[in-house]
């Protein structure tokens, strides 16, 4: 399961570590004064782990103690405290459960909290009776369920937000920001592996006429239809970007010039053969450029654009690629 709070983990840990340590320290000292030595040791251990990690975060250093190690003293303290303190000790299991969901990933937190329910339920059964134990276990399970629902909502919103930042809202193709990142990564992969990678620069022919004569709604529908046709032909590993207006780029990983020409021609034929607009043929022109080992991202893009320009010069509705 994804750790959806990973990007905010340090801020969460820093606040919770200082607050938790400072709040628990008086209870730890009181347990020693009251003669509850084992409980005092467990509570003090939790404080020390939180203090140590909070100080490391303050110094901008890696955590010296994984917060997964909070589990043994937390569980041990609850198991010891419930027979002595009853319901007052059970109350600590609720913030402990929520703490695990904030400081651990969802899988670790779920496993730890299931164990927490078992330990707390077992201690409560022998100390508080079966009726109260059922209530405690039920409310603990509900707390865990609510945390899961909350994190699920966050994950869904996070996914939608990430998608919005990298995709064009009209067509669903990746946007220009993602295009720059994707092309740079493709260059790095090609340099590392030596595998070929090619770029298709695509432009809708006479698109301005569609907007002027039929309106922008027709233009928008045309763009969405063309993107849908592209996606139906491309592989999952191929990346489709909207470079701007009616211009698109297709990144073809592990594909040389000859393979890119085949894909480009297939896309051109696919668009030309579909009745996208009533009574009007929609076509595209395509420029093909395989990455050369010594060129930058801008040089690669410029070559693809020059090939596209040449395809338009030759009459549009065609594919053009430089000879290797």
DSSP for 69-91 reads GGHHHHHHHHHHHHHHHTHHHHT
**CA-to-CA distance for 287 and 187, rounded, in angstroms?**
19
For residue 86, how far is the Cα from the chain centroid?
43
Q: Is 221 a catalytic residue?
A: no
Residue with tokens 């589990």: 71
Q: Of 166, 200, 217, which closes a domain?
A: 166
Looking at residue 1, what is its pLDDT?
A: 43
Mean pLDDT of 277-281: 89
In this structure, the answer to whether residues 182 and 94 fall within a common structural domain is: no
**Residues 219, 155 share a domain:** no
Q: Is residue 300 part of a domain?
A: yes
pLDDT tens profile 165-185: 788 889 999 998 899 999 999
pTM: 0.62
Tell which of 166, 195, 218 closes a domain: 166
Q: What pLDDT, on a 0 to 100 scale, did the predictor assign at position 67?
A: 73
Q: Which of 108, 246, 290, 322 is catalytic?
A: 246
Last residue of a domain, one of 142, 166, 190: 166
Q: To which H or E segment does residue 15 belong?
A: helix 9-33
**Average pLDDT of the residues in 37-45:** 89
- pLDDT at position 43 is 87
Residue 59, in any domain of the structure: yes
Name the pLDDT band for 207 (thresholds 50, 70, 90).
very high
Per-residue pLDDT band for 11 (boundaries 50, 70, 90) equals: confident
Mean pLDDT of 187-193: 90
How many domains, in total, are found in the chain?
Answer: 2
Residues 180 and 161 in one domain: no
Q: Is residue 171 part of a domain?
A: no
Take residue 152 and report the two structure tokens written for it: 């699920």
Tokens of 261: 């020409």
| Domain of residue 11, residue span | 6-166
Residues 58 and 126 in one domain: yes
Q: Give pLDDT tens digits for 222-255.
A: 999 999 999 999 998 999 999 989 999 999 999 9
């Amino acid at each position: 399961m994804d750790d959806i709070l990973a990007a905010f983990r340090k801020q969460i840990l820093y606040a919770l570590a200082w607050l938790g340590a400072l709040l628990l320290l008086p209870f730890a000292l009181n347990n020693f004064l009251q003669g509850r030595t084992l409980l005092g040791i467990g509570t003090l251990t939790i404080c020390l782990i939180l203090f140590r990690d909070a100080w490391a975060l303050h110094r901008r250093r890696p955590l010296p103690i994984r917060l997964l190690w909070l589990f043994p003293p937390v569980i041990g303290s609850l198991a010891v405290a419930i027979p002595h303190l009853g319901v007052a000790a059970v109350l600590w299991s609720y913030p402990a459960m929520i703490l695990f969901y904030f400081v651990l990933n969802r899988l670790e937190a779920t496993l730890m909290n299931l164990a927490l329910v078992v330990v707390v339920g077992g201690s409560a059964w022998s100390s508080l009776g079966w009726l109260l134990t059922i209530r405690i276990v039920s409310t603990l399970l509900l707390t865990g369920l609510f945390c899961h629902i909350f994190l699920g909502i966050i994950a869904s919103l996070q996914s939608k937000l990430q998608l919005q930042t990298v995709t064009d809202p009209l067509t669903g193709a990746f946007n220009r920001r993602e295009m720059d990142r994707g092309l740079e990564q493709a260059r790095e992969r090609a340099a590392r592996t030596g595998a070929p990678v090619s770029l298709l620069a695509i432009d809708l022919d006479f698109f301005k006429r569609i907007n002027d004569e039929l309106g922008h709604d027709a233009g928008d529908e045309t763009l969405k239809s063309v993107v849908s046709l592209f996606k139906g032909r491309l592989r999952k590993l191929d990346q489709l970007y909207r470079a701007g207006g009616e211009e698109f780029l297709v990144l073809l990983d592990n594909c040389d010039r000859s393979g890119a020409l085949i894909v480009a021609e297939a896309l051109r034929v696919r668009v030309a053969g579909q009745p996208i607009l009533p009574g009007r043929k929609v076509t595209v022109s395509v420029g093909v450029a395989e990455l050369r080992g010594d060129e930058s991202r801008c040089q690669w893009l410029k070559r693809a654009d020059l090939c596209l320009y040449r395809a338009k010069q030759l009459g549009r509705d065609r594919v053009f690629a430089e000879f290797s």
